[in-house]
Amino acid sequence: MKYKRIQPIVKQQNRDLVKVEFKWDGEPPMPGQFFMLTLERLDIFLPRPFSVFDFQNGVLSFLIKPIGRFTNLIMNTDDFHIMGPLGNPAPFATSGIFVGGGIGVAPLHFHAKQTENFIFIAGSLTDDLRFFISDLEKRGRVIYTTEDGSYGVKGLATEPLEEILKEKREITVFACGPVPMLEKVKEITGGRNTYLYMEQVMGCGTGGCKGCAIKTTDGYKMVCSDGPVFNAVEVIFE
Amino acid sequence: MNKLHINIGGLGLKNPLLLASGVWDMDSPVEIETYGAVILKGVNLKGRKGNPPPRIYDIQCGVINSIGLENGGVDELNRKIEKIKGRTKLIANIFGSTIEEYRDVAERLKGIDGIEINVSCPNVKDSGIAFGRSPEYVEKITAQVKKVSDVPVFVKLTPDTDRLEDIALAAEKAGADAVVCANTYTGMVIDINTGKPILGGTTGGVSGPCIKPLTVYRVWKLRKILKIPIIASGGIASWQDVIEYIMAGANAVEIGSIIFRNLEAGREIISGLNKYLEEKNIHHILDIRGGVHDG
Ligand SMILES: Cc1cc2nc3c(=O)[nH]c(=O)nc-3n(C[C@H](O)[C@H](O)[C@H](O)COP(=O)(O)OP(=O)(O)OC[C@H]3O[C@@H](n4cnc5c(N)ncnc54)[C@H](O)[C@@H]3O)c2cc1C
Ligand SMILES: Cc1cc2nc3c(=O)[nH]c(=O)nc-3n(C[C@H](O)[C@H](O)[C@H](O)COP(=O)(O)O)c2cc1C
Ligand code: FES
**B260 CA → ligand 3 middle, Å:** 9
User: For every one of its 238 residues, what pLDDT tens digit does chain A have, with 9 covering 90 and above?
Assistant: 888 889 999 999 988 899 999 999 999 999 999 999 999 988 999 999 999 999 999 999 999 999 999 999 999 999 999 999 999 999 999 999 999 999 999 999 999 999 999 999 999 877 778 899 999 999 999 999 998 888 899 999 999 999 999 888 789 999 999 999 999 999 999 999 999 999 999 999 999 999 999 999 999 999 999 999 999 999 999 8
CA angle B198, B201, B202 (to 5 degrees): 55
How far apart CA B280 and CA A137 sit, in angstroms, is 64
Q: Which residues of A touch B63 (CB under 8 A)?
A: 45-46, 203
Decide if pLDDT at B59 tops 70.
yes
Element holding B197 (H helix, E strand) = strand B196-197
**SS3 for A17?**
strand
Q: Which residues contact A228 (CB under 8 A, 6 or more apart)?
A: A32, A34, A49, A51, A87, A88, A197, A198, A199
Q: Which amino acid is at A57?
A: N
How far apart CA A126 and CA A147 sit, in angstroms, is 9
Mutate to test the pocket of ligand 2, among B19, B21, B64 (most ligand atoms within 8 A of CB): B21
Residues B132-181: pLDDT tens digits?
999 999 999 999 999 999 999 999 999 999 999 999 999 999 999 999 99
A220 Cβ inside 6 Å of ligand 3:
no
* Among the bound ligands, the one closest to the CA of A200: 1
Q: Which residues of B touch A198 (CB under 8 A)?
A: none
State how far residue B86 is from chain A, nearest Cα, in angstroms: 20
Give the count of Cβ contacts less than 8 A between chain A and B: 104
The predicted pLDDT at position A211 comes to 97
Q: For this structure, is B61 an active site residue?
A: no
B226 near B179, Cβ under 8 Å? yes
**B161 CA → ligand 1 middle, Å:** 34
Say yes or no for a CB contact (<8 Å) between A201 and B22.
no
**Burial, B179: exposed, middle or buried (Cβ in 10 Å; 0-12, 13-18, 19+)?**
buried
The predicted pLDDT at position B294 comes to 64
The predicted pLDDT at position B270 comes to 98
The predicted pLDDT at position B290 comes to 82
Q: Which residues of B touch A83 (CB under 8 A)?
A: 263
Lowest mean pLDDT, pick from A217-226, B19-28, B229-238: B19-28
Say yes or no for a CB contact (<8 Å) between B24 and A208.
yes
Residues B81-134: pLDDT tens digits?
999 999 999 999 999 999 999 999 999 999 999 999 999 877 776 667 889 999
A112 near A118, Cβ under 8 Å? yes
Is the preceding omega at residue B130 within 30 degrees of 0, hence cis? Answer: no
Atom of ligand 2 nearest to the CA of B120: 11
The candidate with the shortest Cα–Cα distance to B94, out of B80, B108, B111, is B108
Interface test with B, best of A82, A204, A230 (most B CBs within 10 A): A204
The residues of B whose Cβ lies within 8 A of any Cβ of A are 22-25, 27-30, 41, 49-50, 52-63, 65, 67, 70, 208-209, 237, 257, 259-264
Q: Which amino acid is at A132?
A: F
**SS3 for B185?**
strand
Say yes or no for a CB contact (<8 Å) between B261 and A38.
yes
Percent of chain B with pLDDT over 70: 98
Element holding A11 (H helix, E strand) = strand A10-14
The candidate with the shortest Cα–Cα distance to A105, out of A129, A135, A134, is A129
The predicted pLDDT at position A66 comes to 95
**B235 CA → ligand 2 middle, Å:** 10
The predicted pLDDT at position A47 comes to 97
Does this model's pTM top 0.90? My answer is yes
Closest residue on chain A to B209 (Cα): A42
A85 Cβ inside 6 Å of ligand 1:
no
At residue A200, φ and ψ (nearest 5 deg) are: -155, 150
